[in-house]
Amino acid sequence: MPIPDEPAIVFLKPPSCVLLEGTEPMRGPPGCTELHHEIELGVVISGGGTNIPEESAMDHVGGYVLALDMTARDYQNIAKQKGIPWTWAKCFDTACPISEFVPKEKVHDPQDLDMWLKVNGEVRQKTNTNDMIFTVPYIISYISKIMTLERGDLILTGTPMGVSGVQPNDQLEAEIEGVVAMKFTVGDKL
């Protein structure tokens, strides 16, 4: 895919998507047969705003989480074929497992973080956030021109190569090296 001039895909996830470590297994929506992982840096907004200038965007950041944007790929492919929104593919319960909150003071530079994801001990995704197409300040500014950001909003910043499927009972482990780690299990049914 060519590199876009601006973020090409922005979508919302309801709070019911969030899954905290140790609470329950992740699962796909009913009938899902292709559940995929996408590791992402999550930016937690501390102070809302609209039309936030890129230069002051980091003043609106409270901290970060490591996140998985779980996607029902079979649902997404059907939606793409029909030309309809991907809501059901991205917004099901447990579709956004996250780590514990990391205050922004503990992250020296959000554009220089090593991250990885393992499934059953095998590395599937590995990246540094300096490979992101758009910087955290740019993403915050861009979104705030479309919708008002509120305290507590969570922005996922995009995933690197290596997205792949998971199966029931798979063990997922992810880390922002030296910052935060998390482990999740896929439920016994997708």
- Which among 183, 165, 166, 162 has a CA at the least distance from the CA of 174? 183
Average pLDDT over residues 49-72: 97
Distance CA 87, CA 66 (A): 22
Percent of the chain beyond pLDDT 90? 89
Q: Which two tokens stand for residue 42?
A: 């999550």
Q: Which two tokens stand for residue 79?
A: 């939606």
Q: Which two tokens stand for residue 103?
A: 């205050």
Average pLDDT over residues 57-62: 98
User: Is residue 9 very low, low, confident or very high in pLDDT (cuts 50, 70, 90)?
Assistant: confident
Q: Quick check: 80 pLDDT over 70?
A: yes
pLDDT for residue 1 = 63
User: Is residue 11 very low, low, confident or very high in pLDDT (cuts 50, 70, 90)?
Assistant: confident
Q: Quick check: 62 pLDDT over 90?
A: yes
Distance CA 112, CA 130 (A): 5
Domains of the chain: 15-185 (3.90.850.10)
List phi, psi (to 5°) of 57.
-60, -35
pLDDT for residue 7 = 81
**Please, where are the H alpha helices in the chain?**
73-82, 87-90, 136-146
Summarize pLDDT for 91-111 with one digit per residue, the tens. 999 999 999 999 999 999 999
Summarize pLDDT for 131-186 with one digit per residue, the tens. 999 999 999 999 999 999 999 999 999 999 999 999 999 999 999 999 999 999 99
- Which among 60, 51, 70 has a CA at the least distance from the CA of 13? 70
pLDDT for residue 141 = 96
- Computed over every residue of the chain, the mean pLDDT equals 94
Label residues 5-27 b or e (16+ Cβ within 10 Å = b).
Answer: eeeeeeeebeeebbbeeeeebbb
Q: Quick check: 117 pLDDT over 90?
A: yes
